[in-house]
């Protein structure tokens, strides 16, 4: 009796906050990004305007870059906000929240939900502002809108407490885009997509981002690495090993001559601590007799950092240059006459997890279809084949 009484009460009062997610959970799960049911992790969504992907070679004049007002979120975004069950699983798993930073994925989604609902009467009356900040609706149209909704419409989406912003900039920039929140959400809310959309507007239109990122983005644009070092320094580590590391275009003509392309990455080639891993892995490949080569100075940052910061054009630039270079190195037009397939399997091994994710999951958006394996997987494969034998056997899993 108690259960049925409660169900009737909830059904008759659909505007009860506690009840919304019970109705919206099912459609939100149904309309999740991946139709096969997998979690929306890995690749970020391409940047869109009016529901269509932006053509970066010729963007539309009225294209909207990122999200600066709550009504600019997609319908799926609004559905995500309204579906939140407030269970807190995302918050409990968030590395930012667990290290004392202001980001709580739960509170972020709830803030966007409350803002959207409070602003709804204004939007339903035809309200809204242009990119120049001009009011779209007439005074007559807005005459019956409650004062609270009009006040909500004046709040900036991103702003400090003094500015009465809905989301504080420190909250927005605390996210590492690791996806733990998306993985944990029982109703498949896709937090990362919405955070990155807000970042895109801040970076591309407002030029408002952490000062530390400014120098890094300039260096990536000019030199193709975060430190602004010359590309010839990418091969300096090869002089510190006692065997020859083949470089494509110098020691080997293309990648048809080797088993794997070793994608070293910016840190792996230029940062002292990461170079230790690079040299150790290259030495193990040499010991196991694996034929590999590197791109050397032709390699550039994959664009992972600028994309997650919100600088989509820079990701497109770096990514397209890398994809074109890789396709040429793999001999995309060099087909085996008997099979009519490329002579070389496009196999890449990476030590950097960021490079691994970007090349494997995001470069297909740019026309780059490659088989990417993590260095730990390749090492395990070599051990299983007996090509590498640990000097000191280790019992059990380490990672």
3-class SS of residue 256: helix
Residues 183, 291, single domain; the answer is no
- Does some domain include residue 362? yes
Residue 277 belongs to what domain range?
227-384
Structure tokens at 181: 């929140």
The pLDDT value recorded for residue 37 is 83
Structure tokens at 188: 């498949």
Residues 148, 247, single domain; the answer is no
Alpha-helical segments (H) within the chain: 2-12, 17-30, 75-83, 89-93, 95-98, 105-124, 147-153, 169-173, 180-184, 191-204, 211-223, 266-270, 272-288, 304-309, 312-329, 353-357, 375-384
Euclidean distance between CA atoms 200 and 177, whole angstroms: 14
- Does some domain include residue 180? yes
The closest alpha carbon to 293, from 266, 330, 327, belongs to: 330
Could you tell me which residues come within 8 angstroms of residue 340 by beta carbon, excluding any fewer than 6 positions away? none
Q: 371: left (phi > 0), else alpha (psi -120 to 50), else beta?
A: beta
Chunk the chain into consecutive blocks of 10 residues (it has 399) and report each block's average pLDDT, rounded to whole numbers.
Answer: 88 69 88 86 88 86 90 93 93 97 97 95 85 73 88 94 95 95 95 96 94 93 95 95 94 90 96 96 96 95 96 96 93 55 72 95 94 95 94 79
Residues 64, 185, single domain; the answer is yes
Residues 25, 163, single domain; the answer is yes
User: Looking up tokens 């120098």, which residue turns up?
Assistant: 215
Residues 178, 233, single domain; the answer is no
User: Looking up tokens 């007002």, which residue turns up?
Assistant: 69
- Does some domain include residue 260? yes
Rg, the chain, Cα only = 25
- Does some domain include residue 4? no
Residues 262, 374, single domain; the answer is yes
The pLDDT value recorded for residue 62 is 82
User: Looking up tokens 């906050």, which residue turns up?
Assistant: 17
* Strand arrangement, sheet containing 292-293: 292-293, 260-263, 347-350, 371-374
Residues 159, 119, single domain; the answer is yes
- Does some domain include residue 7? no
Residues 142, 58, single domain; the answer is yes
Cα 288 off chain centre by? 35
The CATH number assigned to the domain holding 379 equals: 3.40.50
Could you tell me which residues come within 8 angstroms of residue 94 by beta carbon, excluding any fewer than 6 positions away? 103, 104, 105, 180, 181
Residues 147, 57, single domain; the answer is yes
- Does some domain include residue 398? no
Residues 255, 161, single domain; the answer is no
Residues 233, 163, single domain; the answer is no
Cβ atoms < 10 Å from Cβ of 120? 16
Which of 209, 244, 277 is the C-terminal boundary of a domain?
A: 209
Which of 174, 209, 244 is the C-terminal boundary of a domain?
A: 209
- Does some domain include residue 259? yes
Domain count, the chain: 2
- Does some domain include residue 389? no
Residues 170, 94, single domain; the answer is yes
Euclidean distance between CA atoms 324 and 320, whole angstroms: 6
Name the phi and psi angles at 158, rounded to 5. -115, 120
Q: Give the dihedral sign, CA 332/304/52/78.
A: positive
Pairing of strands 292-293, 52-53: unpaired
Which of 176, 209, 242 is the C-terminal boundary of a domain?
A: 209
The pLDDT value recorded for residue 60 is 85
Euclidean distance between CA atoms 152 and 128, whole angstroms: 12
3-class SS of residue 334: coil
The pLDDT value recorded for residue 284 is 97
């Amino acid at each position: 009796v108690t259960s049925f009484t409660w169900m009737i009460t909830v059904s008759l009062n659909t505007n009860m906050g506690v009840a919304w997610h019970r109705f919206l959970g099912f459609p939100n799960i149904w309309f999740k990004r991946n139709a096969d049911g997998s979690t929306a992790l890995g690749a970020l969504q391409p940047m869109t305007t009016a529901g269509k992907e932006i053509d970066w070679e010729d963007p539309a004049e009225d294209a909207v870059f990122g999200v600066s007002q709550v009504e600019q979120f997609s319908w799926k975004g609004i559905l995500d906000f309204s579906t939140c069950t407030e269970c807190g699983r995302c918050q409990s798993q968030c590395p930012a929240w667990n290290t004392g930073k202001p980001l709580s994925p739960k509170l972020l989604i709830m803030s966007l939900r409350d803002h959207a609902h409070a602003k709804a009467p204004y939007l339903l009356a035809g309200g809204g502002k242009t990119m120049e900040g001009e009011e779209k609706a007439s005074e007559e149209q807005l005459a019956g809108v409650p004062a609270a909704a009009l006040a909500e419409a004046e709040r900036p989406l991103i702003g400090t407490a003094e500015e009465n912003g809905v989301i504080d900039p420190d909250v927005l920039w605390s996210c590492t885009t690791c996806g733990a929140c998306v993985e944990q959400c029982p109703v498949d809310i896709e937090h990362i997509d919405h955070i990155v959309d807000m970042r895109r507007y801040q970076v591309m239109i407002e030029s408002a981002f952490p000062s530390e990122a400014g120098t890094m983005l300039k260096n990536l644009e000019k030199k193709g690495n975060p430190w602004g070092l010359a590309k010839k320094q990418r091969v300096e580590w090869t002089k510190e090993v006692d065997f020859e590391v083949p470089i494509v275009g110098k020691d080997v003509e293309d990648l048809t001559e080797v088993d794997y392309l070793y994608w070293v990455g910016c840190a792996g080639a230029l940062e002292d601590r990461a170079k230790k891993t690079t040299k150790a892995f290259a030495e193990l490949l040499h010991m196991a007799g694996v034929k590999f080569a590197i791109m050397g100075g032709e390699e550039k940052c994959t664009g992972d950092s600028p994309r997650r910061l919100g600088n989509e054009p820079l990701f497109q630039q770096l990514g397209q240059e890398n994809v074109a270079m890789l396709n040429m190195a793999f001999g995309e037009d060099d087909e085996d006459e008997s099979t009519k397939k490329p002579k070389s399997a496009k196999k890449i091994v990476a030590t950097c997890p960021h490079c691994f994710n970007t090349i494997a999951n995001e470069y297909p958006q740019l026309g780059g279809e490659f088989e990417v394996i993590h260095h730990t997987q390749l090492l395990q494969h070599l051990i299983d084949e007996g090509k590498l034998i640990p000097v000191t056997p280790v019992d059990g899993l380490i990672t």
